[in-house]
Structure 1
Amino acid sequence: MHRLQDQKKERFKNRIINRLDQKDLKTFRSLYLSLHSQDQVDIFYAFNEEQRKLAYYYLSSKEMAIIFTGLEIEDQEKIYREMDINYSTEMFNEMFTDDVAMFLTEIDPEQAEEILSLMEPNRSRKVKRLMSYADETAGSIMTTDLIYISLTDTVAEVHEKLRDKAVSAEIVYYLYVIDEEQKLVGVVSLRDLITAALTDTVESIMSTKVISVPEDMDQEDVGKIIKKYDFLAVPVVSRQNHLLGIITVDDIMDILEEETTEDFEDISAASGSTDIDLTGIETAKKRAPWIVTLTFLGLLTGGVIGYFEETLESVVLLSVFIPMIMDSAGNVGTQSLTVAVRGLALGNIKRDGFIRLIKRELTAGFYLGLISMIAIIILISIIYQNWLLAVIVGVSLLCTLTISTVVGFVIPLVINKLNFDPAIASGPFITTVNDIVGLIIYFSIATALMAFL
């Protein structure tokens, strides 16, 4: 079923490209514009440079604005450079202000200034205002393309306003109500508007229970608000409660995807290198700082082994179990790290629950260690016929897993408390720390009991 559908899509795409190559304007527009906007984007990616230039000629700036918005930022830069300056300016005037601002913040500042100078003055002012906000704040990701209504408007007047302005608004499911001072005082849903009498005033049908976000709120926190209340959009207000704009759920979904990707990059010590379009050299450059840092931390691991050299020389068999101790410590530490970072990202770790969660991780680590200790004692006793060696390795494993679980959980919480991103406590970093902890425990126990081996 899916394969047949894909084959149909492929044939349809080839038909569109064929009509474009044949310069069949009427058929190309009919086929291409009949598609969903995202499907238009997918097919646009299949065009070569010559075909794209034909598309710019055959599609209006308004039609191209929808496609341009759906492209990845690096592709937008390439496409923009191919366009005629007048055509691209018209396209930017047709785009939502937040999408224009997002693009302009990613390109060369001088180029961005040139684009802003060519845009319609009113649109340009709105975009500049969005660009003035700090990165990753509510103000920087909001759109000012919204419809707001007054307390004294009648339902009939709102209907008329919707007919005039709905096309230029990013979302019309919620209409936000402002007073004479432009302060947010209520919200009216589209359902309320449809079911109300035409003579009713906005004040009589609106809800005053408005959830809004301040302009300087972090974008991740905005995402949590939208998720918590199941909103399609949330209004952004100033400190004086003036309505500034809205943030829609589709924008938040993109942002949360980016934030999650960043967290995974940080946890794996691969910050900025998950883009599959990067070259091998570019990927190596981005990963190198962490790898070099971890290499030097690895020297500490070697230093611990060197410190207990006499113990190791006396009982060479101890070296057999070093990889197991290190790997086990790293594995449980990374598991706890993931729990901590994800819990902080979702806001599930509260101040009053901190001690409880530490106890939970400590208990989990202890029982993991206990199970592993029993298994390894039985295994070593059978294979090596040395019960004391089995006890040393088993007890070391118990202590190591118990402590490593807590270390993996606590370190990101401490980093977060210091107002740094907890995801920088990457898996490799936690693994290296727990390697050192595990080796110290292992050799300390072995040294204390060496006389009996």
Structure 2
Amino acid sequence: MEEKMTVNKIKQLLTERRLAELKDLIGELHPADFSEIAEELSLAELIEIFKLIPDREKIAEYISELPFELQSDLLKAMSKEQASEVLTEMDTDEAVDLLAEIAPEESQEFLGLLPQDEAAEIKELMKYEENTAGSIMNNEFVSLPEHLTAAQAIEYIRQMSPEAEMIYYVYVLDQKKRLIGVLSLRDLIVADPQKKITQIMEEDVISVLDTEDREVAARLISDYDFLAIPVINKQGMMVGIITVDDIIDVLEEEVTEDIHKMVGSAEFYEDKLIKATPLSRAKARLPWLLVCMIGEIISGSVIEFHSGILEVMVALAFFIPIIMAMGGNVGAQSSTITVRGLATGQLRLHEMWQNVWTETKVGFFIGITVGVIISILTYFWQNNYILGLTIGLSLCITIITAATVGTLLPLVFTKLNIDPAIATGPFITTVVDIGSLIIYFSLGTFLFVYLGRL
């Protein structure tokens, strides 16, 4: 409601040309709040607003929070001089993200507006593969040569690092630019001014390789509660840092992407989901649904194959939905827990069989409990102890199997370097549906035949 009122107020001030009031109103907005409002305004209105802001750094902060497509449109609508100034003021990692998302020809056009050294830095960062630590790092960090004292280091930072994104951590490099230590700004301030920084720095530095997956960096920052983590190359040279605000964005994106993979719509996540056309959304979801349809046709074939026992014991048909639903639910639970555990690092591949065995035992306890309950209910409902025994045993075995398969599949997929998120949702449900019907009818046939009821 407040956002809508702000949008209306901005539009009113623009219409009435009360630009001084508008400038004050915009100046009070946080960049994140402005991004929500900006999507309700036209491109022409946004251009008019940015003309009121003389501070290019402030404009860069506002633009950085907007969707990439809108960022590109705004920069193209500016004069070349203004666009160059705004891009220069943007954090390097944010400029890289923007240029990587837009069309290559537009990217080259924007790079041509930048000073040569700045363009070279951005091009170097754009060489990193998507989803690597290097692709999200910022190369603006505070580093010190190892020979300085604490007092000299403070003066060095004051003179050399006014534009650094983060000065909570100060990194110590040797003559070959290799990372040899780290210290906090607090450590530096409270240290004896004449003490060498090599005497107060932490030598056991936790870092991440620039070619490693960005999730490794996210896990380290989360585990150690860092505000930033240094990024090094294979030679041990420090090339950048990844800050906690970048990691929050990464975690949100990874979780969103995994959720879409789990339900078979991985093509759309982030802003693509909202802006995609109905036809595009349908095309993204159809492949998995067709796989599910084929799976359910196989399930129907299993039922048809056992139609003989259904003709003799019609009550077996009453419990098909229960068997399939319970198996699918347990399988989906197990696979989701496993995929999430793998994503957060709580589950390790070297503990694969231990994890499978643990989840199988969980399935056993659930299966026994549910099996006993359904057996008793079936007996009193149908007045048939063999039917109750069939339903109870089938459900118990189905749940144990579903828990095992739901845990095993994501682990196997990970071992094969296949994204484990696809082993959940529609996939696991289809597999368990087929398996549960085979278990149900096979056990039903066996019990009825060998207990003399057929």
Question: Structure 1 length normalisation: TM-score?
Answer: 0.93
Which residue of 1 is the match for residue 196 of structure 2?
201
Give a deviation string over 1:285-315, Cα, whole Å, max 9, x none.
1111111122122221122112212222232
* Contact 1:380–1:390 under 8 Å retained in 2: yes
Alignment correspondent of 1:87: 82
Do the aligned residues in 1 keep the contact of 2:7 with 2:41 (CA within 8 Å)?
no
Deviations 1:195-225 (A, max 9, x none): 1344443223322121111111100111111
Q: 1:421 aligns with which of 397, 408, 419?
A: 419
Q: Distance in 2 between matches of 1:278 and 1:351?
A: 37
Aligned to 1:27: 21
Matched with 1:53 is: 47
Alignment correspondent of 2:249: 254
SS at match of 1:261: helix
Q: Give the C-alpha shift of residue 248 in structure 1.
A: 0.5
The answer to which of 377-386 and 402-411 deviates more is: 377-386
Shift of 1:95: 0.7
Question: Deviations for 1:12-54, whole angstroms, at most 9, x for unmatched residues?
Answer: 6655554444444443333322333323333333433332121
Give matches, 1:175-254, under 5 Å. Answer: 175-254=170-249
**Amino acid paired to 2:354:** R
Cα distance per residue 1:376-397 (max 9 Å; x no partner): 1111111211111111111111
Task: Give, in whole Å, the separation in 1 of the partners of 2:6 and 2:403.
Answer: 54
Aligned with 2:171: secondary structure?
strand
Describe how 1:7-406 pairs up with structure 2 within 5 A: 7=2, 14-60=8-54, 61-274=56-269, 275-406=273-404
Q: Whole-Å Cα distance in 1 between the matches of residues 143 and 50 of structure 2?
A: 34
Deviation at 1:255, TM superposition (A): 0.5
Measure, in 1, the Cα distance between the counterparts of 2:69 and 2:43: 16
Q: Residue 386 of structure 2 contacts residue 448 of structure 2 at CA under 8 Å; is this kept in 1?
A: no
Residue by residue over 1:241-283, the C-alpha shift from the partner in whole angstroms, topping out at 9 and shown as x without a partner, is 1110101010011011111111111112221345233332221
- Shift in CA distance, 10/311, structure 1 to aligned 2, threshold 3 Å: closer
| Structure 2 residue matching 1:145: 3-state secondary structure | coil
Q: Would the alpha carbon gap of residues 166 and 78 (structure 1) be closer, same or farther in structure 2, given more than 3 Å must change?
A: same
* Alpha-carbon displacement from aligned partner over 1:315-353 (angstroms, at most 9, x marks no partner): 222111111111111010001001110111111123453
- Partners of 1:210 and 1:253 lie apart in 2 by 22
Cα deviation, residue 156, structure 1: 3.6
Query: What residue in structure 2 maps to residue 3 of structure 1?
Result: none
Secondary structure (helix, strand or coil) at the match of 2:129 reads: coil
8 Å CA contact retained: 2:99, 2:107: yes
- Matched-pair contact (CA < 8 Å) for 2:43–2:74: no
What per-residue deviation string (whole Å, max 9, x for no partner) do you get for residues 29-84 of structure 1? 33322333323333333433332121131124322110111112343234334333
* Secondary structure in structure 1 of the residue aligned to 2:181: strand
User: What residue identity is the alignment partner of 1:348?
Assistant: Q
Partners of 1:33 and 1:40 within 8 A in 2: no
Displacement of 1:106 in angstroms is 0.8
Q: Provide, for residues 351-378 of structure 1, a one-character-per-residue CA deviation record: whole Å limited to 9, x for no partner.
A: 4533332222111111211111211111
Distance 2:284 2:76 in 1: 27
For each residue in 1:171-216, what CA deviation from the matched residue of structure 2 results, as whole angstroms up to 9, or x when unmatched?
1101111111111111121101221344443223322121111111
Deviates more, 1:100-109 or 1:297-306: 297-306
Q: Which amino acid aligns with 2:315?
A: L
Q: CA deviation at 1:113?
A: 1.3
8 Å contact 2:352–2:411 — kept in the other structure? no
Are the structure 2 counterparts of residues 10 and 198 from structure 1 closer, same or farther at C-alpha, using a change threshold of 3 Å? Answer: farther
For the 8 Å contact 2:265–2:284, the answer to whether it is kept is yes
Deviation larger for 89-98 or 352-361: 352-361
Q: In terms of mean alpha carbon deviation, does 43-52 or 316-325 score higher?
A: 43-52
Counterpart position of 1:437? 435
Whole-angstrom CA distance in 2 between matches of 1:261 and 1:165: 39
Residue 441 and residue 129 in structure 1: after superposition, are their counterparts in 2 closer, same or farther (change >3 A)?
A: same
Query: Separation in 1 of the partners of 2:194 and 2:23?
Result: 43
Task: Please give the alpha-carbon distance, in whole angstroms, between the structure 1 residues aligned to 2:28 and 2:149.
Answer: 37
Bigger Cα displacement from structure 2, 401-410 vs 39-48: 39-48
Query: In 2 relative to 1, CA 81–238 (structure 1 residues): closer, same or farther, beyond 3 Å?
Result: same
Contact 1:56-1:83 within 8 A present in 2 as well? no
Q: Distance in 2 between matches of 1:50 and 1:106?
A: 23
Give, in angstroms, the shift of residue 159 of structure 1. Answer: 2.9
- 1:128-172 deviations in Å (ceiling 9; x for gaps): 111101111111111111121111233344333433454421111
Contact map agreement 1:336 1:409 (CA 8 A) in 2: yes
Equivalent pair of 2:23/2:49 in contact (CA under 8 Å): no
Q: Which amino acid aligns with 1:28?
A: L
* Whole-angstrom CA distance in 2 between matches of 1:139 and 1:377: 58
Q: Aligned Cα RMSD in Å? A: 2.0
